[in-house]
Amino acid sequence: MKVLSVVGNRPQFVKSAPLSVALRDRGIEEIVLHTGQHYDSELSQVFFDELGLPEPGYRLDLHTAEPAPMRAGIRKAIAAESPDLVLVFGDTNSTLAGALAANDTGVRQAHVEAGLRSGDLEMPEERNRIEVDRLAAILFAPDDQAAETLAGEGVPGRREVVGDVMLDATLQLAPVAARRSHVLDALDLEPRAYVVTTVHREANAVPNRLEQILEGLSRVDEPVVFAVHPRTRKTLDHAGLEAPANVRLLRPLGYLDFTALASQARVIATDSGGLQKEAYWHGVPCVTLRDTTEWTETVNVGANTLAGDDPDAIAEAVTSARMPAERPHLYGDGHASERIAEVLVTLSP
């Protein structure tokens, strides 16, 4: 069997890493296509280098996040390779472009992280999730709730509850990060005595919301290290927004350094879906800088607080954040990649 895996941003590089190994171990030929949605070397190549990802067979190098040109480029790759399946991850425009291109060419598509819903249709990621799920022949859900959502919506694809491939990556790579990274020494930070922040969503990377978020962080009585996404950096620069005295702006970090930094924080404040999960797995309480989340279980167990962009809510949530006394296992057991590969092995070419 031949699989075309479509990736384009940091979380997708992480998700694809353990799955690439599982596919290879089972004799499945994988061709990786990098859409170029994240084309900055700090957001892209460093991840391929650190995670040992197979070199992409195709790099679109479009330097855009728009799905239309990606879709055309993926169609060309499908025509050249004739894969049996197109594999897409998550909820980005790269995900949507891969699903649409597969549909255009009559090739089966499998969606990793199927069935997630935040309920916020104003978010492009939510619209992408819904459309990609409806086009998928195989729906790899991270948990029973996601599978039930798909069933409730009448989504026609084959549902498989496999767990979360990002947990696979976290369990495999967090010990590597702990051994190799010296990021806390470099930044002169003490474990559990600082807050890690990331902001990258389109809705937040605008002057008024970013100013509100910074105001909330300024009221936190401890150091805040803010790993700044290029989109967010552009907004900060163009709007003339300055970081508060307790907030330290960092360039994007590689996976191992960021994992070491995040896993030893006291709190993580973020608008990233993936980082909400990683915070939970690391045992770090999370404050989500959004009004909704697709990872609702983290909120339900008391490990994640939705604060939006309200300065008072952000400051209060960060200051009071604690992990719950009981932490149930969420999103699998670290073997999602193996389950996905086993399903694909059973498919006829």
pLDDT 10s digits, 251-284: 989 889 999 999 999 999 999 999 999 999 999 9
DSSP run (H or E) holding 176 = helix 165-180
Q: Does the residue 48 lie in any domain?
A: yes
Q: Does the residue 138 lie in any domain?
A: yes
pLDDT 10s digits, 99-145: 999 999 999 999 999 999 999 999 999 999 999 999 999 999 999 99
Are residue 192 and residue 137 in the same domain, yes or no? no
Are residue 153 and residue 191 in the same domain, yes or no? no
Q: Are 260 and 50 in contact (CB under 8 A)?
A: no
Q: Are 19 and 44 in contact (CB under 8 A)?
A: no
Side-chain-side CA neighbours of 135 within 13 Å: the count stands at 27
Closest to 221 (Cα-Cα) out of 307, 290, 320 = 320
Q: Range of 216's domain?
A: 171-320
Are residue 96 and residue 202 in the same domain, yes or no? no
Q: Are 330 and 324 in contact (CB under 8 A)?
A: no
Are residue 93 and residue 155 in the same domain, yes or no? yes
pLDDT 10s digits, 156-212: 999 999 999 999 999 998 998 999 999 999 999 999 999 999 999 989 999 999 999
- Annotated active-site residue in 200, 229, 282, 329: 200
Q: How confident is the model at residue 316 (pLDDT cuts 50, 70, 90)?
A: very high
Q: Does the residue 327 lie in any domain?
A: no
Q: Is 344 exposed, middle or buried (0-12, 13-18, 19+ CB in 10 A)?
A: buried
Are residue 149 and residue 17 in the same domain, yes or no? yes
Are residue 10 and residue 159 in the same domain, yes or no? yes
Are residue 177 and residue 158 in the same domain, yes or no? no
Q: What is the pLDDT of residue 349?
A: 66
Q: Does the residue 30 lie in any domain?
A: yes
Are residue 184 and residue 267 in the same domain, yes or no? yes
**Does the annotation mark 229 as catalytic?**
no
Q: What is the pLDDT of residue 10?
A: 85
Q: How confident is the model at residue 63 (pLDDT cuts 50, 70, 90)?
A: confident
Biggest CA–CA distance in the chain, Å, is: 59
DSSP code string of 104-129: HHT-EEEEETTT---S-TTSHHHHHH
DSSP state, 219?
Answer: T
Domain count within the chain: 2
The model's pTM is: 0.92
Are residue 215 and residue 82 in the same domain, yes or no? no
CATH number of the structural domain spanning residue 32: 3.40.50.2000
Contacts of 325 (CB under 8 A, 6+ apart): none
